[in-house]
């Protein structure tokens, strides 16, 4: 009996480094969720996305874990008023796999395939630019490695995924897993996304993460949640439709509120959240540049430098406008930007003055935070148990056909996916 011919391993299609494609500011849509807002469906999501694109934002981050976020984002991006001016090729889509609910994770190959297909359908696209394994600290290293390998298989065989990374909270865990993936596969991760670890309150991503991630060959490290999941706000942590979800202990919250009152007392209408956003965006643009984006916003020539990448979420148009006002002012004061984009002298000078003001305010805030500076809460909690006992079982009502079977039939959005 002849020996069957083994199926050849797909050869990866050479792609440019993610740092050459991902812009330095990404619109996060975790806020399109009842966790941050009383009703996600009451948010002006289409108007937010349309205005973001008009302001030059060309990348969006989401996740199946963020409630209706993927669906709302997909509906917005395919709205006729947006689609007419912004085809799919004009922006980057990032989503995630593996986290189903607060205490339910599934990194099995079967679930990964299902999740990718479902995300494509919700986002109304035939491919995903970047996919992260979501909150990797909640599963084993072996499960993360299995998920990364499956995502790479989908990338190489079907082109449904183009770049692959991991996301989570504890910086040492993220670094260890990035090193493990490189060691076990010989290929580095394209991206590692950290959240709430480079803020006015906590700079662990810089002090304990950047060098290790660089050594692990990671291309980009987006910094998400410069407000620490809403911790650094004068009104306190957000309480949405699901109640108070924030993991910060009460003593840290009290210290932050003391810092907020001190900030307001400095005059000129200062608010903690405004200072925190400015400091976070400006500092990471500089300190995260080694693992940042080579794309300079509104540049009229090619820059040889990089800017650290930030992910910013908003819930309304006024928050978006304020974020973009601050972001553009940050860019006005950066020499790497003024060399390749037109900036008026007074705008550059104002940006430099504001940078000094914010740095002075930051020092005062750090003095108030005291021992709480660089504090990182536990993730997961010591008593965490993954409630997903049987992995890979797809029990969704709207079950989606697998990528492989759709490829054979050649119909539906999956057929388009497989033919890319």
Burial 281-301 (b: 16+ CB within 10 A, else e): bbbbbebbbebbbbbbbeeee
Say which residues have a Cβ less than 8 Å from residue 337's Cβ, sequence separation at least 6: 296, 297, 299, 303, 307, 331, 343
| DSSP output for 35-83 | TTSS-GGGS-HHHHHHHHHHTT--EEE--TTSTTHHHHHHHHHTSHHHH
Instruction: Write the pLDDT tens digit of every residue in 242-278.
Output: 788 899 999 999 999 999 999 999 988 899 999 999 9
Partner residues linked to 244 by β-bridges: 239
Say if residue 339 is exposed, middle or buried (CB neighbours under 10 Å; 0-12, 13-18, 19+): middle
Least Cα distance to 226 among 250, 200, 208, 205 occurs for 200
Residues 166-187: tens digit of each pLDDT: 999 999 999 999 999 999 999 9
Residue 99 corresponds to which tokens in the numbers above?
């986290």
CB 285 within 8 A of CB 358: no
Q: What is the pLDDT of residues 94-116, one digit of tens each?
A: 999 999 999 999 999 999 999 99
Query: pLDDT for 189-199, tens place per residue?
Result: 999 999 999 99
Instruction: Evaluate the CA torsion angle 371, 377, 381, 382 in order and state its sign.
Output: negative
Q: Name, in order, each residue with C-beta under 8 angstroms of 230's C-beta and a sequence gap of 6 or more.
A: 36, 237, 238, 246
Confidence at residue 241, expressed as pLDDT on a 0 to 100 scale: 76
DSSP letter for 4, please: P
Give me the pLDDT at residue 177, please.
Answer: 98
- Residues 356-365, buried b or exposed e (16+ Cβ, 10 A)? eebeebbeeb
Interatomic CA distance for residues 58 and 4, integer angstroms: 47
Residues 6+ apart with CB under 8 A from 136: 98, 144, 166, 167, 168, 173, 174, 177
C-alpha to C-alpha distance for 388 and 250, rounded to whole angstroms? 31
The pLDDT tens digits of the residues spanning 199-226 come to: 999 999 999 999 999 999 999 999 999 9
Find out whether 209 and 221 touch, Cβ atoms under 8 Å: yes
Secondary structure class of 313 (helix, strand, coil)? strand
Number of H helices and E strands in the chain, helices first, is 15, 12
d(CA 222, CA 291): 8
Note if the pTM is more than 0.85.
yes
Task: Using the predicted structure, report yes or no on whether residue 9 has a pLDDT greater than 90.
Answer: no
The answer to whether 164 and 129 are in contact (CB under 8 A) is no
Active site residues: 66
In 84-242, the DSSP E strands lie at 92-97, 99-101, 104-105, 128-133, 161-168, 191-195, 223-224, 239-240
């Amino acid at each position: 009996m002849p020996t069957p011919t083994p199926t050849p391993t797909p050869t990866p299609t050479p792609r440019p480094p993610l740092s050459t494609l991902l812009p330095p500011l990404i619109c996060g849509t975790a806020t399109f969720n009842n966790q941050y807002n009383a009703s996600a469906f009451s948010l002006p999501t289409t108007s937010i996305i349309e205005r973001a694109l008009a302001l030059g934002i060309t990348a969006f981050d989401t996740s199946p874990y963020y409630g209706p976020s993927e669906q709302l984002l997909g509906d917005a991006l395919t709205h006729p008023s947006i689609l007419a001016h912004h085809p799919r090729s004009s922006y980057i889509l990032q989503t995630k796999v593996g986290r189903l609910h607060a205490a339910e994770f599934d990194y099995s190959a079967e679930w990964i395939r299902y999740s990718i297909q479902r995300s494509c359908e919700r986002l109304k696209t035939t491919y995903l630019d970047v996919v992260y394994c979501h909150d990797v600290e909640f599963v084993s290293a072996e499960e993360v490695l299995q998920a990364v390998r499956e995502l790479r298989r989908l990338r190489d065989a079907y082109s449904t995924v183009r770049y692959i990374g991991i996301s989570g909270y504890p910086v040492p865990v993220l670094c260890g897993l990035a090193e493990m993936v490189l060691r076990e596969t010989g290929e580095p991760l394209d991206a590692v996304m950290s959240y709430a670890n480079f803020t006015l309150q906590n700079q662990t991503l810089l002090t304990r993460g950047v060098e290790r991630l660089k050594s692990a060959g990671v291309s980009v490290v987006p910094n998400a949640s410069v407000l620490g999941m809403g911790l650094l706000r004068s009104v306190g942590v957000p309480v949405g439709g699901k109640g108070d979800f924030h993991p910060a202990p009460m003593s840290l919250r009290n210290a932050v509120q003391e810092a907020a009152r001190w900030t307001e007392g400095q005059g000129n209408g200062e608010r903690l959240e405004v200072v925190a956003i400015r400091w976070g965006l400006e500092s990471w643009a500089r300190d995260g540049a080694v693992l940042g984006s080579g794309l300079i916003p509104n540049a009229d020539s090619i820059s040889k430098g990089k800017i650290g990448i930030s992910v910013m979420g908003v819930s309304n148009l006024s928050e978006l406008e304020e974020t973009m006002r601050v972001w553009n002012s940050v860019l006005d004061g950066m020499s790497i930007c003024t060399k390749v984009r037109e900036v008026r002298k007074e705008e550059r000078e104002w940006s430099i003055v504001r940078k000094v003001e914010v740095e002075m305010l930051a020092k005062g805030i750090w003095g108030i935070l005291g021992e709480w500076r660089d504090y990182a809460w536990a993730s997961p909690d010591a008593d965490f148990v993954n409630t997903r006992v049987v992995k890979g079982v797809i029990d969704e009502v709207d079950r989606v056909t697998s990528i492989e079977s759709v490829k054979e039939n050649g119909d539906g959005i999956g057929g388009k996916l497989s033919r890319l």
